[in-house]
Amino acid sequence: MNQPHLAIVGATGAVGAEMLVCLEQRNFPVGRLTLLASARSAGRTVSFRGEEIPIRELTHDSFEGVDIALFSAGGGISKEYAPSAAAAGAVVIDNSSAFRIDPDVPLVVPEINPGAVARRPHNIIANPNCTTIVSLMALKPLHDAFGLRAVIASSYQAVSGSGAQGILELEEQVRALANGDPVTPRVYPRQIAFNVIPQVDAFTDNGYTKEELKMLHESRKILGLPELKASCTCVRVPVYRSHSVSITAVFDKPVDAAAARAAYNGRPGVKVVDDPQNQRFPVPLDTTGGDDCLVGRIRENLVLDNALDLWVVGDQVRKGAALNAVQIAEIL
């Protein structure tokens, strides 16, 4: 596929905009670019490589001649329009949860399972959940070295994971509280400013949220470990961008911190920042706008055998969404 015709569905959203940034920064060979969004955005223009590209209204007929269609407009839009794009001959790379667990749709992190893109009977490839991507970037090198058996994780997720409205709500609440004004939550069930909320996505019947169960089901599929055990608590925190995850990982083989750090040597997309005595450990501001996930606080767990505790941080808009999709397009 030389100089492909690309389409971006949801081009005016935060992830769509970041996809354009990634395409430009990585010098992706775009032969033609079609930008698609809702009718209310049609007619606007977006700058790409010094050219103003018009936004077009998304319809089922928008994909004629398109080679790769990057979708980031929500699960409902993907379910309705991705089959049309695939039928028109485009390979769909979908950032929503619509197709992730479909056994006939590959779920891909390019640094982990790039070969999975080859089998795509529906011409659709799914981008994993952002928290799953960030976590697995830290876990895959350890799995390769020691054999991953179980994961216990707590995520600290930025408000940009809720889109522009999440950022706006945090900003408005901080200003209101500084002025002594009352706060009325709209996006979140409780005040997010100067607070943390142990709910990301809706609760299911077993007490876990949908976001927490994604870590289990998506990790099993990506790593090819159907018996992997995983339990996760997802927490919304008053941070603008970049998710952090505290992980306890249990392995088949004995592990120690030094061997774990060595396992990351030469692995693309992940770097170790781990010198806590000198306050060197990853924080969200370190990864915002960056491609790599950063791992630190690596230590042997004091309760479980063959287990490590670690801390990983990654930009969920970039590696957790836009960059991962562009990297899949690069494989194609």
3-state secondary structure of 282: coil
| Cα of 234 vs its chain's centroid, Å | 14
Query: Would the pLDDT of 19 be above 90?
Result: yes
pLDDT value for 30: 95
Q: Are strands 45-48 and 51-57 parallel, antiparallel or unpaired?
A: antiparallel
- Asked about 130 being catalytic, the answer comes back as yes
Sheet holding 148-157, edge to edge: 229-236, 148-157, 243-251, 307-314, 293-300, 270-272
CA distance 270 to 201: 27
Q: pLDDT digit string (tens) for 151-171?
A: 999 999 999 999 889 999 999
Which homologous superfamily does the CATH classification assign to the domain defined by 132-316? Answer: Dihydrodipicolinate Reductase; domain 2 (3.30.360.10)
Question: Looking at this protein, which amino acid is placed at residue 22?
Answer: C
Catalytic residue among 130, 232, 234, 293: 130
Q: What is the rounded average pLDDT for all residues in the chain?
A: 96
pLDDT band at 224 (very low <50, low <70, confident <90, very high): very high
Question: Looking at this protein, which amino acid is placed at residue 27?
Answer: N
- Residue 255 Cα distances to 5, 154, 251, 301, angstroms: 47, 21, 8, 10
- Residue 182 Cα distances to 175, 186, 256, angstroms: 10, 13, 50
Query: Would the pLDDT of 2 be above 80?
Result: no
> What is the pLDDT averaged over residues 15-43?
94
CA distance 308 to 292: 21
pTM of the model: 0.95
DSSP 127: P
pLDDT value for 1: 57
Q: pLDDT digit string (tens) for 90-128?
A: 999 999 999 999 999 999 999 999 999 999 999 999 999
- Residue 48 Cα distances to 25, 33, 45, 53, 209, angstroms: 11, 9, 10, 7, 38
pLDDT value for 163: 86
Q: How is residue 122 written in tokens?
A: 């529906």
Radius of gyration of the chain from its Cα atoms, rounded to whole angstroms: 20
Q: Write out the H or E segment, with its range, that includes residue 53.
A: strand 51-57
- Asked about 232 being catalytic, the answer comes back as no
CA distance 91 to 183: 45
pLDDT value for 332: 93
> What is the pLDDT averaged over residues 298-311?
98
State the CATH class of domain 5-128+322-331.
alpha beta
> What is the pLDDT averaged over residues 137-144?
98
Where do the domains of the chain lie? Answer: 5-128+322-331, 132-316
Q: pLDDT digit string (tens) for 69-93?
A: 999 999 999 999 999 999 999 999 9
Q: How is residue 119 written in tokens?
A: 């089998």
3-state secondary structure of 283: coil
pLDDT band at 33 (very low <50, low <70, confident <90, very high): very high
Catalytic residue among 232, 234, 243, 293: 243
